[in-house]
A and B are shown apart, each in its own frame.
Chain A
């Protein structure tokens, strides 16, 4: 059974940092693109970051470029999102998501974690 379990969310002050982690199991983690998708309270979905199978490609939404870093550790079947210089508008539920195999970041997420809430507030 495919499982994605996020951790690391919480309350942080503006300008602060958080590191989200996602523990994956039940599939060959190293074969898939992996993604972070967020959803602000009462708002729609936003694709935050994507990372290719070997980590050689990373893509970010413009609003987080230079502040967020996506990474993966295939030996630990884990995905990470380092979030620095956090802003109020980064407040959202952050989902770890399994994207497809293949060479391009298709918008096809077949498994999602339960989500972890990040709240940026003083």
Chain B
């Protein structure tokens, strides 16, 4: 049940795009198309932004997109806005008899 690996920080200027990576193994990220991404602002509960690698829940702007290649999933935020500044966590299904696992989180700063 090892945590997925995310960069601790990422940044971009308003209007730019930024991509956050999430690296696991063939037992989690690489083995299943069940990767989710969550956004968390300070003092609030996380919010689901992406599920099943690239699907967006209703209400999530299409500036947020997800993808996966091998054991690494990615979240891209296009057209950065000030309100996108938050912590982002990836999570993956990890197979039978296991809880899903989270990444360590990435703090996104909008410069």
Contact with A along B86-111 (1 / 0, CB 8 A): 01010111000111111111000000
Contacts of B101 in A (CB 8 A): 47, 107
Which of B12-20, B31-39, B62-70, B76-84 participates in binding chain A? B31-39
Interface size, chain A (Cβ < 8 Å): 23
Contact with B along A60-104 (1 / 0, CB 8 A): 111000000000000000000000000000000001000000001
Partner pick for B100 among A44, A60, A95, A107, CB 8 A cutoff: A107
Q: Given A105-B93, A106-B93, A107-B91, A47–B100 Cβ distance below 8 Å? A: yes
Bound-state CA distance A115–B40 (Å) is 13
Q: How many A-B residue pairs have CB under 8 A?
A: 70
**A-contacting residues of B (Cβ < 8 Å)?**
1, 3, 34-36, 38, 40, 45-46, 48, 51-52, 57, 87, 89, 91-93, 97-105
